[in-house]
Amino acid sequence: MRIFATFTYLRTECSKWPLLAACMMMAGNAWGQDFVDVTLTAFPSHQAVIESAASWGDIDNDGDMDLIVAGEVSLGNPQTILYRNNGGVFTPETNLFVNVWKAAVALGDYNNDGFLDVLLCGQTQSGAPISNLYTNNGGSSFTLNSTASSTFTDVLGAAAEWADYDNDGDLDLLITGDALAGESTKLYQNNNGIFVEETAISSLLEDVEFGDVAFGDYDNDGHIDLVIQGLSQKAQPGVSIIDPFTGLYHNNGQGGFDPPTFPFTFVQEGSLDWGDYDNDGLLDLLLTGVYQLDTITKVYHNNGGGDFNDMGDPFFGIMKGQASWGDYDNDGWLDILLVGEDDKGMVAKVFHNETASIGGQGGFSETLLNSALLTPKDLGATAIWGDYNGDQKLDILTVGRIDTLLTARALHLYENINLSPNTTPPAPVNLTAVQIFDEVHLSWDPPPGFAGDADGLSYNIYIGTAPLQIDVASPMSDLFSGKRRLVKLGNVSHGTNWVVRELAGGTYYWNVQAIDADFEGSAWNNEESFVFVPPMPTFQNVSSTAFPSNFSGRINGGADWGDYDNDG
């Protein structure tokens, strides 16, 4: 049977406390071990690394998840490896990318051609930092995009993520890390495949290294927001000049972000992950890291209106690792995978979401048999969910150091053998597009008759200039089956509306799919279309305010603009 930790932690609207819950050991909440180690059969040839980054993605669009891993394989020897998935057995390819450690790997279809491209940051063998973008050539090879790469600030101790922050359909890019001259955080706007730094936004964002970033629409207003954490050298309210930082940046919907607010604990050397653990339709935040000497793992409940509530400390606090949301037992509720270093050593834990069984209060119990199976890791450990064998159940991949010796490194893949089937949601319905001046507002209704909790679904859209085209916005999903090519939330988060901007005049075709708690995509609905008509410019007479000295009109005259006093 599945053995739970003795204590379950509950959240209420006004308080939080540990509640003794021996009843969680009862048969009604007990299952067997859910995972088995399949590393040697799935990875007959592999390299284990530290100071790592890893990401699942269907690189060649063959329907199964491939894997990219970057890190240090031996002292001073980094490596970046693509493992191609061939029926559940992975074959390494080692000459596609620059070799880095202290790395970040971010997959995304930046040019809307339907194939996942690769952003790779980190420290090379020479010690130099890099930030390279590789364009996917139809799944078989990659080409370094030297123009974009030369635009990006080179960093190590990096974090990076793709998101369409300006709602124009293509993926923009955020990169943080150590640029040797100091910490760096830069946002690059994607203009049809050409990247330009948004300097006004970059100057607003905190410069950090050895941290993490996460995009998510936490207020469901149709604009992607941002949270950043890491080591910063800027002064913040109530902290010293050099200290951890965690800031929440609200997207103002006008192509920028508001100044940061600080609802979360300041940390560095940690991780961030958005997910709706209580299925109320609002993104909550899973955060790990270290503040001074305290290792931290926290879940922040989203109460709406920008207010977040700290659930307390039911978890092992970790640093130099990762915590991730994922529904491993297909019950429709996000569970937690946690691997890293606490104040006593290395840990690897799986926590089951007990929200449904304890009256919607929100709580997690450690599944001791699953935790016992996992090999603890630290030193830049990676811990990610992914369905490597296509059985619609989330498996676990971990990479990192397994002993205090720097040479003790390991990669482990744990296959999910839980017997609970996944219920993939139906397609969303009632797709609607309305033009409001220079924007198009897309909306839809959740899937009808979904056996799970529809409030916990995220959504994924595509937009094209012809039927079944994705040249405006890529879903990173198969257009016929709906099968996802990434293990993450949908590209428009949890809301049932999205705003599209900066469109040229013409007819557009679009669709939306639902994404469930184990990141499976629904089928698509019938494709819809809309016609965008660029609005005519409007003018307002401001003569009296612009010319308060009663500038009089002339006949048979002329006028022209010019900076006569050179004031800009």
Query: 3-state SS string over 133-196?
Result: EEEECCCCCEEECHHHHHHCCCEEEEEEEEECCCCCCCCEEEEEEECCCCEEEEEEEEECCEEE
Q: Report pLDDT digits (tens) over 33-58.
A: 999 999 999 999 999 999 999 999 99
Question: Distance between CA atoms of 135 and 256, rounded to whole angstroms?
Answer: 27
61: left (phi over 0), alpha (psi -120 to 50) or beta: left
Determine what percent of the chain is predicted with pLDDT higher than 70.
89
pLDDT at 11: 35
Give me the DSSP letters along 101-120: EEEEEEEE-TTSSSS-EEEE
Q: What is the mean pLDDT of the chain?
A: 90
Better pLDDT: 26 or 472: 472
pLDDT at 320: 95
Question: Distance between CA atoms of 199 and 187, rounded to whole angstroms?
Answer: 8
Q: Report pLDDT digits (tens) over 268-285.
A: 999 999 999 999 999 999
Average pLDDT over residues 331-337: 96
- H/E element, 328: none
pLDDT at 355: 85
Q: Report pLDDT digits (tens) over 147-183.
A: 999 999 999 999 999 999 999 999 999 999 999 999 9
Question: Distance between CA atoms of 12 and 17, rounded to whole angstroms?
Answer: 9
Question: Distance between CA atoms of 172 and 466, rounded to whole angstroms?
Answer: 23
Question: Distance between CA atoms of 72 and 79, rounded to whole angstroms?
Answer: 6
Question: Distance between CA atoms of 303 and 405, rounded to whole angstroms?
Answer: 44
Identify the CATH homologous superfamily for domain 35-416.
Integrin alpha, N-terminal (2.130.10.130)
Amino acid 141 reads S
Q: Report pLDDT digits (tens) over 279-315.
A: 999 999 999 999 988 999 999 999 999 999 998 867 8
What's the pTM value of the predicted model, to 2 decimals?
A: 0.90
CATH topology of domain 432-532: Immunoglobulin-like (2.60.40)
Give backbone dihedrals phi and psi of 214, rounded to 5 degrees, phi first.
Answer: -155, 125
Is residue 235 predicted with pLDDT exceeding 60?
A: no
Q: Report pLDDT digits (tens) over 95-105.
A: 999 999 999 99
Residue spans of the domains in the chain: they are 35-416, 432-532
Average pLDDT over residues 106-111: 98
What is residue 204's three-state secondary structure?
Answer: helix
